[in-house]
Chain A
């Protein structure tokens, strides 16, 4: 069932064919039905005209026999009527059967029939009309010719006659067989059924072939578009004349060429930027090294300086360190921006990393606990980057949250591992939490000492580079939680929106 639903959803052809079959069935059934009804009606009505004609003649003849002077008197009347009925029965396979009812004024109306027929052979409504009015009336009824045979359609035409002698009214009912008409109707029905069936079948076949003609180039185009989307920018649609598909292919090719051009341009730009960053990095690093070394030398000799110079040497050293950190962070960020950052993947046990870091944190008089460290949490990741993320988070917590207790939690799913870094410090208000990953953003704008303001931005980039995510959850007064989620193996996947943590955050 699910497979059928899937087929319906995925294949235009299936939808076209199925809807064609459904609509064709409805339409053809309706028209065939209408035609059949029409044919049946006209067949019946010509038979009726003829039957009424015959009935009128027979009635006229009957009237003349009743008018005969020899038929005067109720006994004679009865004899004449019986003769009339008998004359019908004496012609087996004659055009009709006859029922004569009357005299009608009797309480128990005597009935004469040319063949044995049940009383309900004459429809009640017809009997009511015939007995009350002059003229001929007809109605179709279903009558069994004998008790054993099946009822078949019969046209009953009736009229009444008055015997002039006694003034008695007699009702005459002539029963005309409609077997011939039924045969024609059956033929028409059969023809309609077969024709309808054939039409439906044909239309399905046509819709199948036509949709296939349309779908095939569309499918071919889809395959090419998919290959293009997967990065094979040289893919182009085959030329295909001037029809709609052909024009679609042409438009696609124009679009593809434009895109390819843009992408190539962007790639070249990225390469240029990468080279620039690399050059700047190199050009800055050499003088910075000299300055660093000189600063270090001065710093070590500061005891021999006067207080102002000694303090200057100290400031020189600390600010040089800061400058260096800033340069390194900026270089890292521009490498991310240029798409030049590369992972050096190895097997990393996050539990092991957490344990190592817990020792570092514990040194700073902060209580650390690790949850979920009972089994290893192996991911393929860039150890340097993972450690950098943790280092940044630890530094961050120590600096801003005034937390005396932090918690590491490791949660694993099949395809991902979440590493939670949780402090129970002052927390972040929601507007701050939005900005923690912004470059150069600081929780307290007044406090600028220490750190580059780039740590969390870089950490987030590091997480994204793995195809993972780094998110923050915080409540003012309760604490802050950074959740690093890494896939078991890195992939250039969708953005972090799709990569949820392996657990429900405590401060969410």
Chain B
């Protein structure tokens, strides 16, 4: 558990005093460091000051809604964001994912579930030791940076993981379920929309033409595969 000392700060954004306290109790119990923020406008200052490794973001906030907070954080950082939502309403979730959330968890949830989700986001692709070259794309695991034709690409850790997962086995077709397991840490019944939304964003960053992808191809009826660009 060496990485735990490296990445262990969780910023909790929740307007409900009791839930905020309970969340920090449980996460502290896991050995993580937490800070609780109760309104949307306090998030950015706290974020800059606390430098969390993961953000737990309640979707219904007074003052500023989850989407805006999410965008605000994304404008400065690719830090993993897990949204807490009280609704299983599809639109809410898709809006959240599109605003930049990496994952979501629906209330009510169990402690183990929450911890597993956070752990999946704190865990990095540390076991990738050497730089991965793929056509003109280079992944540097140490600096967690990606370049294409020498140009640096701004990927969030999640997007980095997703790309690394595909590039490590070029030409292998990954099902969405497999990606959910490898990248998000879901062992069964993950939400495939997570893959769809993030794949779209990843493509928009690495592909020349996101509508006509050349690096990550869609395999009809299966999922995705990485192909070496010409």
Contact = CB atoms under 8 A, between A and B. Distances in A.
Given A285-B107, A285-B108, A286-B16, A293 B23 contact: yes
Interface string A275-316: 000100110011111101110110010000000000000000
B107 A286 contact: yes
Contacts of A290: 16, 18-19, 22
B191 to A, nearest CB: 9
B110 interface: yes
B25 A297 contact: yes
Contacts of B189: 387
B67 interface: no
A380 interface: no
A293 B60 CA distance: 19
A205 to B, nearest CB: 63
B109 A278 contact: no
Interface string B109-143: 11110100000000000000000000000000000
B49 interface: no
B219 interface: no
Given A290-B18, A297-B26, A324 B90 contact: no
B22 A293 contact: yes
Nearest to A327: B108
Interface string B52-91: 0000000010000000000000000000000000110110
Contacts of B86: 281-282, 285-286
Nearest to A346: B192
Nearest to A293: B22
Interface residues of A, number: 20
B29 interface: yes
B192 to A, nearest CB: 8
A288 B22 CA distance: 12
Contacts of A278: 87, 89
B111 A297 contact: yes
A296 B110 contact: yes
B162 to A, nearest CB: 21
A344 interface: yes
Given A286-B16, A286-B19, A292 B87 contact: no
Contacts of A294: 22
B90 A293 contact: no
A322 B18 CA distance: 22
A342 interface: yes
Contacts of A300: 111
Contacts of B108: 285, 288-289, 292, 324
Nearest to B191: A384
B223 to A, nearest CB: 13
A470 to B, nearest CB: 22
A324 B221 CA distance: 35
A342 B89 CA distance: 10
Contacts of B16: 286-287, 290
A293 B26 contact: yes
Nearest to B188: A356
B35 to A, nearest CB: 18
Contacts of B111: 293, 296-297, 300
A289 B12 CA distance: 15
Interface string A249-280: 00000000000000000000000000000100
Contacts of A347: 221
B18 A282 contact: no
A297 B86 CA distance: 21
Contact of A282 (B25, B60, B112, B221): B60
Contacts of A344: 90
Nearest to B91: A342
A342 B90 contact: yes
A292 B112 CA distance: 11
A289 B23 CA distance: 10
A436 B114 CA distance: 36
Contact of B109 (A281, A282, A292, A342): A292
A290 B110 CA distance: 10
A83 B23 CA distance: 150
A312 B125 CA distance: 42
Contacts of B19: 286-287, 289-290, 293
Nearest to B106: A285
B107 A288 contact: yes
Contacts of B25: 293, 297
Interface in B214-230: 221
A379 B219 CA distance: 20
Nearest to A286: B16
A324 B16 CA distance: 19
Contacts of A297: 25-26, 29, 111
A288 B16 CA distance: 12
Contacts of B109: 289, 292
Interface in A336-380: 342, 344, 347
Most interface-central of B16, B90, B108, B110 (chain A CB within 10 A):
B108
Contact of B110 (A282, A287, A292, A342): A292
A483 to B, nearest CB: 25
A342 B25 CA distance: 37
A382 to B, nearest CB: 11
A287 B87 contact: no
A314 to B, nearest CB: 15
Contacts of B87: 278, 281-282
A278 B60 CA distance: 13
Interface in B35-57: none
A300 B25 CA distance: 13
A204 B109 CA distance: 79
Interface in B90-111: 90, 107-111
A61 B26 CA distance: 150
Nearest to B84: A289
Contact of B107 (A289, A296, A342, A387): A289
Interface in B172-230: 189, 221
A288 B107 CA distance: 8
Given A287-B19, A289-B107, 6 more contacts: A282-B86, A287-B16, A289-B19, A290-B19, A293-B111, A342-B90
17 contacts: A278-B87, A281-B87, A285-B107, A286-B19, A287-B16, A289-B107, A289-B109, A290-B16, A290-B18, A290-B19, A292-B108, A292-B109, A293-B25, A294-B22, A296-B110, A297-B29, A344-B90
Interface of B: 16, 18-19, 22-23, 25-26, 29, 60, 86-87, 89-90, 107-112, 114, 189, 221
Q: Which 9 A-B pairs have the closest CB atoms?
A: A285-B107, A282-B86, A285-B86, A289-B108, A296-B111, A289-B107, A288-B108, A290-B19, A293-B22
